[in-house]
């Protein structure tokens, strides 16, 4: 049995002494111990070597004692397993040299056997579970099909993912087939992760907010709903849609256990839009971790008061930035642990 149950209880909507806390991208470049490993091994070697991935996963837990760990990996291991080449270029980010722009490109995209091509992820989960020693739960994750399509079609990060949208709007049949292939692979992948030992899964729809509400429905949400339907009996599902406040109402009745919120949506609005009953996760502006520790602590306490201590998981509104001082990240976590109801 896992000793720290705050996170899993919050996902069930149960009352807690204080809300649980973790940070998106908590295993990352703001940590000197992460940078030491990064200096020796390239990105996909770190992802594919269970000893390295598990070590990186537990680094922030050892240092700060968050209430949940998230497996070190990347959303782009999915297109890689689907026979789409993915490189991680230093100081550039993801680069896919052969983007999917036509039906012919789509023909080479496979639905892999995840137990073979992503076996290294399952091994990393097992190694991490051993290191965590049942102290805290482990989160597994995947990108949403739309967010994965963004990279597969654009070929790299982008301010507006115009080429990804162009494919959707000019060759919708190709886009939908690609989205369905990604969805089928993602469902098999997340089920395998749960079998390997993760206690909850998060779907990152990092670029969902690029779409209009109507297009979101067609190109993103309906595929996320398939993932929730397939997973919800096996593990709690958290959906984080960056910029997707407009969809919170629909998301709240989807079977998801919790919804991520970014910092552009107030706690009050997020509660209102999601109907007030579902667990919410978020939404500290990642740049606010650059404020002095005393300011961070005050703002975190205010944020908990705004969301309420129950049905709430403290997190950032998106991933932690690489240049955040370690003591500022610590102030964020400590503020939650020191939380006492003050209203
Ligand atoms: O949260 C965690 O600590 C687990 C690790 C994690 C990584 N990527 C490691 C990583 C998670 C959950 C992700 C998810 C991910 N990857 C997302 C969704 C979440 C989000 O932030 O929106 C996306 C869009 C990606 C794709 C991706 N991977 C990008 C855009 C980049 C480069 C951007 C950058 O910050 O430089 C990556 C690389 C990456 N993935 C790094 C890490 C720690 C940094 C590069 C490195 O370590 O060499």
| pLDDT above 90 for 68 | yes
71 alpha carbon – ligand 1 mean position (Å): 11
Give percent of the chain above pLDDT 90.
Answer: 99
**Which of 43, 56, 75 to probe ligand 1 with, by most ligand atoms within 8 A of CB?**
75
Counting from 1 in the atom list of ligand 1, the atom nearest the Cα of 60 is 3
Instruction: Give the pLDDT mean for 218-232.
Output: 98
| pLDDT above 90 for 41 | yes
**Which of 21, 24, 25, 150 to probe ligand 1 with, by most ligand atoms within 8 A of CB?**
25
| pLDDT above 90 for 308 | yes
- Give the length of the chain: 343
332 alpha carbon – ligand 1 mean position (Å): 20
Query: Does the beta carbon of 209 lie inside 6 Å of ligand 1?
Result: no
Q: Strand 258-261 relative to strand 312-316: parallel, antiparallel, unpaired?
A: unpaired
Query: E strands of 55-195, at which residues?
Result: 69-70, 87-89, 93-95, 138-143
Kindly report the protein residue whose alpha carbon is nearest to atom 13 of ligand 1.
74
User: In 3D, which of 80, 67, 71, 93 has the Cα closest to residue 25?
Assistant: 71
Instruction: Give the pLDDT mean for 256-264.
Output: 98
pLDDT value of residue 342? 61
Mean pLDDT across the chain: 97
Query: Does the beta carbon of 144 lie inside 6 Å of ligand 1?
Result: no
Banded pLDDT at 28 (limits 50, 70, 90): very high
Q: For the chain, what is the radius of gyration of the CA atoms? A: 19
Query: Does the beta carbon of 142 lie inside 6 Å of ligand 1?
Result: no
H or E stretch covering 279:
strand 279-284
314 alpha carbon – ligand 1 mean position (Å): 20
Q: What is the pTM of this model?
A: 0.97
- Spatial separation of the C-alpha atoms in residues 205 and 72, rounded to whole Å: 18
Q: Strand 279-284 relative to strand 312-316: parallel, antiparallel, unpaired?
A: parallel
| pLDDT above 90 for 262 | yes
User: In 3D, which of 192, 267, 259 has the Cα closest to residue 221?
Assistant: 259
Q: Could you give the C-alpha distances from 159 to 142, 235, 272, in angstroms and in order?
A: 21, 33, 29
| pLDDT above 80 for 335 | yes
Instruction: Give the pLDDT mean for 206-224.
Output: 98
Banded pLDDT at 235 (limits 50, 70, 90): very high
Query: Does the beta carbon of 188 lie inside 6 Å of ligand 1?
Result: no
Instruction: Give the pLDDT mean for 129-134.
Output: 98
219 alpha carbon – ligand 1 mean position (Å): 22
> Which residue is listed with tokens 């629909």?
250
Counting from 1 in the atom list of ligand 1, the atom nearest the Cα of 57 is 3
pLDDT value of residue 343? 54
| pLDDT above 90 for 203 | yes
pLDDT value of residue 180? 98
| pLDDT above 60 for 100 | yes
Query: Does the beta carbon of 317 lie inside 6 Å of ligand 1?
Result: no
Query: Does the beta carbon of 275 lie inside 6 Å of ligand 1?
Result: no
| pLDDT above 90 for 176 | yes
Banded pLDDT at 340 (limits 50, 70, 90): confident
Confirm if 195 and 148 have CB atoms less than 8 A apart: no
319 alpha carbon – ligand 1 mean position (Å): 8
Query: Does the beta carbon of 182 lie inside 6 Å of ligand 1?
Result: no
Over the stretch 9-26, which tens digit does the pLDDT of each residue have? 999 999 999 999 999 999
């Amino acid at each position: 049995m896992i000793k720290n149950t705050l996170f899993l209880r919050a996902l069930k909507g149960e009352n807690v002494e204080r809300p649980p806390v973790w940070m998106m991208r908590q295993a990352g470049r703001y940590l000197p111990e992460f940078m030491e490993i990064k200096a020796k091994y390239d990105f996909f070697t770190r992802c594919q070597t269970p000893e390295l991935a598990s070590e990186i996963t537990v680094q922030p837990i050892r240092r700060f004692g968050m209430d949940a760990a998230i497996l070190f990996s990347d959303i782009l291991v999915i297109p890689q397993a689907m026979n789409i080449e993915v490189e991680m270029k230093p100081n550039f980010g993801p680069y896919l040299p052969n983007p999917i722009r036509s039906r012919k490109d789509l023909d080479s995209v496979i639905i892999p056997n995840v137990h073979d091509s992503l076996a290294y992820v399952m091994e990393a989960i097992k190694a991490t579970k051993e290191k965590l020693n049942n102290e805290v739960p482990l989160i597994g994750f995947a990108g949403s099909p739309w967010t994965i399509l963004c990279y597969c079609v654009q070929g790299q990060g982008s301010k507006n993912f115009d080429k990804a949208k162009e494919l959707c709007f000019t060759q919708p049949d190709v886009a939908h087939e690609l989205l369905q292939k990604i969805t089928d692979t993602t469902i098999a992948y997340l089920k395998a992760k749960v079998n390997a030992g993760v206690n909850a899964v998060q779907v990152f729809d990092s670029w969902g907010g690029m779409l209009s509400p109507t297009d979101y429905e067609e190109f993103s949400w309906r595929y996320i709903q398939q993932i929730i339907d397939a997973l919800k009996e096996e593990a709690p599902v958290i959906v984080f849609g960056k910029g997707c406040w407009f969809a919170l109402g629909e998301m709240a009745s989807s079977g998801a256990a919790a919804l991520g919120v970014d910092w552009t949506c107030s706690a009050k609005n997020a509660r209102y839009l999601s109907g007030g009953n579902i667990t919410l996760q978020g939404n500290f502006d990642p740049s606010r971790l650059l404020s002095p520790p005393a300011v961070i602590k005050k703002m975190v306490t205010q944020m908990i008061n705004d969301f309420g201590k129950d049905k709430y998981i403290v997190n950032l509104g998106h991933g932690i930035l690489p240049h955040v001082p370690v003591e500022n990240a610590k102030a964020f976590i400590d503020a939650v642990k020191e939380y006492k109801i003050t209203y």
